[in-house]
Amino acid sequence: MALEDRGVTSTADKTHVQSDDRPLWRVFLAFLGPMLFGNVLQSLSGTFNNVFIGQMLGTHALAAVASVFPIVFFLISLIIGVGAGASVLIGQAWGAGETHKVKAIAGTALALGLAFGIAIALLGGIFTENMLHLLRTPPSVLPDAIAYARVMMFAMPGLLVFLLATQMMRGVGDTVTPLYALLISTGISCVLTPGLIRGWFGFPGLGVTSAATATIGSFLVSLCFLFSYMRRTKHPLAPDRELLRSLHIDPKLLRLVVRIGLPTGMQVIVMSLAEIALLALVNRFGADATAAYGAVNQVVNYVQFPAISIAITASILCAQAIGAGRNDRLGAITATAMRMTLVLTGSLVVLGYLLSRYIVGIFITSEPVVELAQSLLHIMLWSSVVYGCAAILSGVMRASGTVLVPTAISILCIVAVEVPTAYALADRFGIEGVWMAYPVTFITMLILQAAYYRLVWRKKKITRLV
């Protein structure tokens, strides 16, 4: 499929998503479908690797990998923020038809990600053991956790560049090329991980480091594919001479990227810390409650994928509209995103309620735990639609560079509403109280985001940042 078929051009004209004459819902679907499938692929890749490790190496190996996850997630969260900021700026530059600025922004973001990744690779291996001790990793799994973490630290330069590249492509309206790359990386990882565990490739089995080594291999191959494919198709972000000349940190562009991206990264980190606090609360109710928590989270994650993807789509399309000087389209984009959330996420919610017993049964075999997980799912699943609407408003405002207040609202709701409410309701209603806190949090978040959107943001003068 040619780039032009996806609404992406290789020239500086404006023949891209924003000037597309199709109805907005069709533009949304063309952008949304590949990105949604890619998100599911990423999630499945992690799930498959955990299954391979747990089934082929045992629970100690799985515990070792799990103990490293908070460290890896923290490091990736910061780059997710950089990618979010860069994609907004690229969207504005692309909307204005200024491809030279697209390359300059991409060069700054990639240089920052590469420098950060190299620093992690050099320093992470040295301080890995100290970090794992701080996380109170059980002594029985500490040696395996250290070995796994050191390989993952070594993988960071390639992994972060891959994540940044796929995020920034959204800014020019391309979600298909990242999907191709994710298909390749997921496929290779699913072959390499069990192969390296068993020593299929002429090497002795690598044990717990197999998944980390497979990660390096899969992303190296995917990056080679990306660079080759993008050059062949003359992609706007292809690694050509102009991009290579831009591969340095421009202080002015860096400030803009960090201004938009850092709050987003911090929000992701706060969300992860809140989930750790809630998990500690759930653990008080015993192993059955913890198992139900894991199953419910698996279901909710897949239900929320469309909501998150729609919010990202709305943010990119709004950024392109602002860059093209079409601020009159912002309201229509926001309204279309809201309707799509009601339809797509709402449909999944309805299916979740109708098929809850069967879905939960995929993850759990114990009948009492299935009953518990089903009741917990029924308490909060509907609020995924509310969460999606709040995320859309935040994403739309982020497209204009308005980040601090929407992000502060989200963090405030997580810290001051979600966690305290969960603890308070758990004392009164038991384990069900933890899940009652989610609708309370999401409703509060939507009310505050909508109030700021209508009363403040819509009255602001929206201008390009680049």
pLDDT digits (tens, 9 = 90+) for 366-386: 788 889 889 999 999 999 999
- Is residue 409 a part of any domain in this protein? yes
pLDDT block averages, 10 residues each, the chain of length 466: 41 43 82 85 74 74 71 79 91 91 94 91 80 74 84 87 90 91 89 83 74 86 90 91 91 90 82 77 81 80 87 92 92 95 94 89 78 91 95 94 93 94 94 94 97 95 86
**Residue 202, pLDDT score:** 66
CA pair distance 174, 264, nearest whole angstrom: 21
Question: Looking at 217, 249, 281, which one is the last position of a domain?
Answer: 249
Q: Does one domain contain both 291 and 193?
A: no
Q: Is the dihedral of CA 69, 72, 78, 81 positive or negative?
A: negative
**Residue 410, pLDDT score:** 93
CA pair distance 418, 193, nearest whole angstrom: 37
CA pair distance 184, 181, nearest whole angstrom: 5
**Residue 293, pLDDT score:** 80
Q: Does one domain contain both 197 and 292?
A: no
Which residue in the block uniquely carries the two structure tokens 């653990």? Answer: 283
Q: Does one domain contain both 274 and 219?
A: no
Q: Does one domain contain both 126 and 200?
A: yes
Q: Does one domain contain both 275 and 196?
A: no
Q: Does one domain contain both 192 and 296?
A: no
Question: Looking at 192, 225, 249, which one is the last position of a domain?
Answer: 249
Distance from chain centroid for Cα 195 = 28
Q: Does one domain contain both 286 and 184?
A: no
Q: Does one domain contain both 78 and 163?
A: yes
Q: How many domains does the chain have?
A: 2
- Is residue 126 a part of any domain in this protein? yes
Q: Does one domain contain both 381 and 269?
A: yes
- The helix/strand/coil state of 289 is helix
- Is residue 333 a part of any domain in this protein? yes
Question: Looking at 249, 274, 308, which one is the last position of a domain?
Answer: 249
Q: Does one domain contain both 131 and 198?
A: yes
Q: Does one domain contain both 424 and 304?
A: yes
- Is residue 7 a part of any domain in this protein? no
Structural domain boundaries enclosing 95: 26-249
- Is residue 8 a part of any domain in this protein? no
CA pair distance 310, 333, nearest whole angstrom: 11
pTM to 2 decimals? 0.82
CA pair distance 161, 269, nearest whole angstrom: 20
- Is residue 268 a part of any domain in this protein? yes
Q: Does one domain contain both 134 and 263?
A: no
- Is residue 96 a part of any domain in this protein? yes
**Residue 4, pLDDT score:** 39
- Is residue 278 a part of any domain in this protein? yes
Structure-block tokens of residue 16: 């891209």
Residue 465 CB neighbour total at 10 angstroms:
18
